């Protein structure tokens, strides 16, 4: 479920949306091995795109929502992104303006016919805003293209995939130079998500709040794939991390698990209204990303009821 977009789906409904988007990707010419970029904060379309591209065999390229124009240009050209799914904006970042500055040709082309001098592989952009913008499909326009491809055609394409096909590229900064693109396979990330959730004893009764960004392994693998492999509920409280929305989500949805980096848990514990939230349903979760001070962990164990919280790395 995506609370800030008022989305609540069963897994059956979710699979329907994924199949629809997968057929739409096929309709615009995306095939096995093509690179589809996603530049967006946490939204339901992010997760639908994650699984839709996997069904087609396209390689999802995660783009950090904090990237500026030069970083976006570098990542798109390095990975060879041909289709970009993009939010319209996030916080102080105007994604649409950035993309138009980088590829002004978008303003005069039809959706799906992009030919940009600085982004030579890009041929299509899908904007998650509900309003129509030059040279881009809206998400709703895009998914309507699914009618051009049958479910049998999608099933046939999916049946040709292999478990060790590359399926995801994530950028890691390292310590020097430009970000490096790490290529991951179905087998790699599916098992990563499965065993992290298995270590937390997830079942179909667990409900996980995911405030960490989906563009990173923490969100899309340990979060999304961990839940998918166990039938657990995925809960996105907001586009980005806000301590109050996380606490509200746990309280309202009776969450049993919560993910975050130490600073997120510190911010949640420091919320002025912390004591008003019922966190008694929490059982487990993951704290990762940096070293957690012992006193913070004790408060998470006690005040947040996360007695089975774990330290993990992706």
94-129 confidence digits (pLDDT tens): 999 999 999 999 999 999 999 999 999 999 999 999
**Is the distance from CB of 122 to CB of 114 less than 8 angstroms?**
yes
153 and 7 assigned to the same domain: yes
**Is the distance from CB of 204 to CB of 229 less than 8 angstroms?**
no
137 and 197 assigned to the same domain: no
119 and 222 assigned to the same domain: no
Q: 4 — phi, psi (to 5°)?
A: -75, -10
Read off the pTM: 0.96
pLDDT band at 231 (very low <50, low <70, confident <90, very high): very high
- 161, 177, 205: which is the final residue of a domain? 161
pLDDT band at 50 (very low <50, low <70, confident <90, very high): very high
Terminal-to-terminal C-alpha distance of the chain: 23
Q: What is the CATH number of the domain that holds 47?
A: 3.40.50.980
274-291 confidence digits (pLDDT tens): 999 999 999 999 999 888
Which candidate, 304, 289, 198, 210, places its Cα nearest to that of 249?
Answer: 210
- 116, 146, 161: which is the final residue of a domain? 161
HEC per residue, the chain = CEHHHCECCCHHHHHHHHHHHHHHHHHCCCCCCCEEEEECCCCHHHHHHHHHHHHHCCEEEEECCCCCHHHHHHHHHHHCEEEEEECCCECCECHHHHHHHHCHHHHHCCCCCCCCCCCCCCCEEEECCCCCCCCCEEHHHHHHHHHHCCHHHHHHHHHCCCCCCEEEEEEECCCCCCCEEEEEEHHHHHHHHHHHHHHCCCCCCCEEECCCCCCCHHHHHHHHHHHHCCCCEEEECCCCCCHHHHHHHHHHHCCCEEEECHHHHHHHHCCCCHHHCCCCCCCEEEECCCCCCHHHHHHHHHCCCCCCCEECCC
What is the structure's pLDDT at 76? 97
Is residue 175 domain-resident? Answer: no
- Number of folded domains that form the chain: 2
What is the structure's pLDDT at 284? 98
What is the structure's pLDDT at 268? 98
Average pLDDT for the chain? 96
Question: Who contacts 75 (Cβ-Cβ below 8 Å, separation ≥6)?
Answer: 37, 61, 63, 67, 81, 171, 179, 181
| Residues forming a β-bridge with 259 | 286
19 and 155 assigned to the same domain: yes
Cα gap 243→238, rounded to integer Å? 10
Is residue 66 domain-resident? Answer: yes
Instruction: Count how many Cα atoms sit within 13 Å of the Cα of residue 293 in the half-sphere of its side chain.
Output: 7
Which of 36-40, 90-94, 291-295 reaches the highest mean pLDDT?
A: 36-40
191 token code pair: 């098992």
Is residue 176 domain-resident? Answer: no
Is residue 170 domain-resident? Answer: no
The share of the chain scoring above pLDDT 90, in percent, equals 95
9 and 146 assigned to the same domain: yes
Cα gap 25→146, rounded to integer Å? 8
Q: Which domain holds residue 83?
A: 3-161
| pLDDT at 314 exceeding the cut of 60 | no
What is the structure's pLDDT at 75? 95
Is residue 213 domain-resident? Answer: yes
137 token code pair: 């499909």
| pLDDT at 178 exceeding the cut of 90 | no
258 and 118 assigned to the same domain: no
């Amino acid at each position: 479920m995506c609370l800030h977009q008022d989305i609540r789906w069963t897994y059956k409904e979710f699979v329907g949306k994924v199949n629809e988007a997968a057929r739409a990707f096929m309709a615009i010419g995306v095939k096995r091995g093509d690179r589809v970029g996603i530049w967006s904060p946490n939204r339901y379309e992010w997760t639908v795109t994650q699984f839709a591209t996997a069904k087609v065999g396209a390689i999802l390229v995660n783009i950090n929502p904090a990237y500026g124009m030069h970083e976006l240009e570098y990542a798109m050209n390095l990975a060879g992104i041909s289709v970009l799914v993009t939010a319209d904006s996030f916080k102080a970042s105007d994604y649409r303006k950035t993309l138009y500055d980088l590829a002004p040709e978008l303003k005069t082309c039809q959706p799906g016919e992009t030919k940009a001098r600085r982004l030579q592989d890009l041929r299509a952009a899908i904007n998650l805003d509900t309003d129509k913008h030059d040279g881009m499909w809206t998400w709703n326009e895009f998914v309507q293209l699914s009618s051009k491809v049958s479910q049998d055609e999608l099933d046939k394409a999916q049946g040709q995939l292999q478990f060790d096909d590359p399926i995801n590229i994530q950028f890691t900064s390292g310590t020097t130079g430009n970000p490096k693109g790490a290529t991951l396979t179905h087998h790699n990330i599916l098992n990563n998500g499965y065993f992290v959730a298995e270590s937390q004893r997830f079942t179909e009764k667990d409900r996980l709040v995911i405030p960490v960004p989906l563009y990173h392994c923490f969100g899309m693998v340990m979060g999304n794939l961990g839940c998918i492999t166990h039938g657990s509920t995925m809960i996105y409280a907001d586009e980005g991390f806000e301590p109050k929305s996380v606490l509200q989500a746990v309280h309202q949805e009776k969450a049993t698990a919560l993910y975050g980096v130490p600073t997120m848990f510190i911010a949640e514990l420091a919320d002025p209204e912390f004591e008003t939230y019922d966190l008694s349903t929490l059982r487990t979760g993951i704290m990762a990303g940096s070293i957690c001070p012992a006193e913070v962990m004790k408060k998470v164990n006690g005040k947040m009821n996360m007695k089975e919280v774990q330290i993990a790395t992706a």
